[in-house]
Chains A and B, each alone.
Chain A
Amino acid sequence: MGPRVKPIIASVIGVAVGIFALSQTAPMSELGRVFPTTAGIIAIVGGVALAALTVLRPVPAASLSEPSDVPRVIATCAVLLGWALLLDPLGFIASSGLSIVALALIARREPMGLKSIAIHLAVGAGLVLLFAFLLSQVLNVSLP
């Protein structure tokens, strides 16, 4: 990615969100429209100004390369989303147990011994059960 790409994307986001916000204000009451309109205009103006500055300014030095690991990112996001969606159908304990194992596998870098796997599993299970108990019995939060 060139050094100008990121600010350009950010300015496109600003303009897009701003236009979307403005496009929805028609059915709102006169006073209810003030804030969304103001915020939308700020987003658009900020986006346009950022884009203009980025283009006009001399090309900045390339930013430090950031670590990137696309498969891991996608896997993490997928597990988190799946976890959130499965809370209701599978229940709190089952969905949490599955997702915790999945996340541990994603985060793993070195091979683990059997003993270490056993410890991880035991701690994970203990954590889930502890919180299931804490929430449902102590804090009176009903679990899915």
Chain B
Amino acid sequence: MLEALLNALSPGNLVLALLGVIAGTMIGALPGLSATMAVAVLVPFTFTMEPSSGLIVLGAIYTGAIYGGAYSAILVNTPGTPAAIATAMDGFPMAKRGDGDLAVTLSCLGSVAGGLVGALALLFLAPPLSKIALAFGPVEYFWLAIFGLSLIATLSRGATLLGLIGGAIGLILSCVGSAVVGGDVRYTFGQTALLGGIPVIPALIGLYCVPVLIDMVIRPEAHLEQRAERMAGFRLIEALGLMWRSKFNVVRSALIGTGVGIIPAAGGSVAGLVAYSEARRSSRNSDDFGKGAHDGIIASEASNSATVGGGFIPTLVLGIPGTPPDAIILGALLVQGIRTGPQLFTQQSDIVFTFTFGLIIATLLMLPTGLVIGRYAYKLIVSIPKTALVPAIAFLTFVGAYAIEANTVHVLIMVVLGILGWLAARVGLEASPIVLGLILGPIAEAGFVQGWLIGGAQGDRLGMFFGRPISLAIIALTILTLVSSGIFKRAKQPKEVA
């Protein structure tokens, strides 16, 4: 293991890790340019590099790209990846009121903390932890997705019914296309372009970013409020203080992120939402969530960065990749002649340990990189006049929606959903419930259909859905979240629907 550490610390590998983190962060900051794309482009280079160096670059890019998504979430309310949805919920309100620099620094610290926890879990506990992945069957996925959907109640403060309608619309949108599980072709209107369903990233960009653009155009004031008293700084001391006060939140969110990361097919979006929901439930100031609560950003970022290390656990131990970037890296490992499996961590381990140390180093390098890039990103967004900012952001949304699959239909879907989303928001149907329905719908549906079939085969559907310990625990958490969200209190103080 020591040899692997020294190998990862060689000057060449350090430079590669730094370059990887910088490139990854910048790519991740642009919505639509994803970790998957960056990693996929780099794979061929790793064929000619030293295997461990190649893997370090891949890991560094991936780590950076997951973090980079926080910038667009905080500064323009546009999560570039589903993993950053929860970051936008509090990050953007903070930026709006002039605390964007603090939000960026908090997201960086949160990510580093979460990333380290995930990577350490990968280093020391991978084989035993991989069992978590196997304990999650279809029914557990179903309940986990329902748990994620219950966050709608939390998000839609006082307007639960509007959230419910939005969530249902999202679920219906998620049904569009040919269902992998079941094979039905639904809601495509005979258009083959819709067979693959509503593409998630273009939908995210459209639903979150187009309304921001339209609002920027119609409001005369600046996009983000600027604090007159001083220029944007790192606000590192302040952020560190906040982190220390939220240490339980940091640890809890990082552990949730690691755990959810281990579950294949759940991924960063679920991790971010679950951690956010738990942070809100256990916070004394739960009413601040959604209005710029520090804990919201910390929870989301610590957990989504922890999924990086967590996600490699099933990838390397079981050969089951959790996310597309994991899958590409797994492919690169196969090409290098590496066999995945528990033995990777006992025999043949050098390359895995070098990779893991590379991941840890990349996470540490993210601290200076993230702070510096974040500061300039913030300054840039604050200081550019709207005449330039509006077209620039619009251009980036187009680039992102197109680039994800080099498909102009995706751009059109992005724009149409964005305009409809803006109109819907005018009558109170916000983007977040719709997006939650869209993202969690397929996980819930696949889990439900599979659970139903398996339960039917075993002749015990009721036991299938309600008789398994993990399922029951998730159901209990869901109920707790719903109760604490206050939907049952709404009759007392009806709030005006904005």
Q: Which residues of A contact B (CB under 8 A)?
A: 3, 6-7, 9-11, 13-14, 17-18, 21, 24, 28-29, 31-36, 38-40, 42-43, 46-47, 49-50, 53, 57, 60-61, 63-64, 66-69, 72-73, 76-77, 80-81, 83-85, 87-88, 92, 96, 99-101, 103-104, 106-109, 112, 120, 123-124, 127-128, 131, 135, 138-144
CB 8 Å contact bits of B17-37 with A (1 = contact, 0 = none): 000000000000000010001
Whole-angstrom distance from the CB of B178 to the nearest CB of chain A?
Answer: 10
Give A106 to B183 CA distance when docked, in angstroms: 46
Give A138 to B218 CA distance when docked, in angstroms: 36
Give A12 to B394 CA distance when docked, in angstroms: 31
Q: Are B403 and A36 in contact (CB under 8 A)?
A: no
Q: Which of B182, B403, B424, B441 makes the CB contact (< 8 A) with A141?
A: B403
Q: Which of A11, A77, A128 has the largest number of chain B CB atoms within 10 A?
A: A77
Interface residues in B434-460 by Cβ distance below 8 A to A read 437, 441, 444-445, 448-449, 452-453
Q: Which residues of A contact B445 (CB under 8 A)?
A: 34-35
Q: Which residues of A contact B444 (CB under 8 A)?
A: 35
> Is B402 located at the chain interface by the 8 A CB criterion?
yes
28 A-B pairs whose Cβ atoms sit less than 8 Å apart in the complex? A10-B428, A13-B424, A17-B169, A34-B449, A35-B175, A35-B448, A36-B172, A36-B186, A39-B437, A42-B167, A46-B162, A60-B497, A81-B412, A83-B398, A83-B415, A84-B408, A84-B411, A84-B414, A87-B411, A88-B408, A96-B398, A99-B391, A107-B217, A107-B386, A107-B389, A109-B387, A120-B387, A127-B395
Give A138 to B445 CA distance when docked, in angstroms: 38
Q: Which residues of B contact A10 (CB under 8 A)?
A: 162, 165, 424, 427-429, 497
Q: Which of B165, B184, B415 makes the CB contact (< 8 A) with A43?
A: B165
Given contacts A76-B213, A81-B415, contact A127 B165 (CB under 8 A): no
Q: Are B161 and A46 in contact (CB under 8 A)?
A: yes
Whole-angstrom distance from the CB of A132 to the nearest CB of chain B?
Answer: 9
Q: Are B220 and A109 in contact (CB under 8 A)?
A: yes
Give A119 to B186 CA distance when docked, in angstroms: 49
Give A133 to B412 CA distance when docked, in angstroms: 22
Give A66 to B162 CA distance when docked, in angstroms: 19
Given contacts A107-B216, A131-B399, contact A50 B496 (CB under 8 A): no
Given contacts A13-B427, A35-B441, A84-B408, contact A104 B395 (CB under 8 A): no
Q: Are A68 and B183 in contact (CB under 8 A)?
A: no
Give A120 to B403 CA distance when docked, in angstroms: 25
Give A25 to B318 CA distance when docked, in angstroms: 39
Whole-angstrom distance from the CB of B401 to the nearest CB of chain A?
Answer: 9
Q: Which of A46, A81, A87, A143 has the largest number of chain B CB atoms within 10 A?
A: A46
Q: Which residues of B contact A135 (CB under 8 A)?
A: 399, 403
Our count of residue pairs bridging A and B at CB distance below 8 angstroms stands at 208
Give A129 to B119 CA distance when docked, in angstroms: 38
Identity of the chain A residue whose Cβ is nearest the Cβ of B404 in the assembled complex: A141
Q: Are B390 and A107 in contact (CB under 8 A)?
A: yes
Q: Known pairs A6-B428, A21-B172, A34-B452; list 16 more (Cβ under 8 Å).
A: A13-B424, A29-B182, A36-B186, A39-B168, A40-B168, A50-B161, A63-B496, A73-B218, A76-B217, A77-B214, A80-B394, A80-B418, A87-B408, A92-B402, A96-B395, A112-B387
> Is B171 located at the chain interface by the 8 A CB criterion?
yes
> Is B392 located at the chain interface by the 8 A CB criterion?
yes
Give A24 to B494 CA distance when docked, in angstroms: 35
Q: Which residues of B contact A3 (CB under 8 A)?
A: 496
Give A33 to B175 CA distance when docked, in angstroms: 10
Number of B positions contacting A (CB below 8 A): 67
Interface residues in B151-184 by Cβ distance below 8 A to A read 161-162, 164-165, 167-169, 171-172, 175, 179, 182-184
Whole-angstrom distance from the CB of B467 to the nearest CB of chain A?
Answer: 20
CB 8 Å contact bits of B175-210 with A (1 = contact, 0 = none): 100010011101100000000000000000000001
Identity of the chain B residue whose Cβ is nearest the Cβ of A48 in the assembled complex: B161
Give A101 to B93 CA distance when docked, in angstroms: 29
> Is B41 located at the chain interface by the 8 A CB criterion?
yes
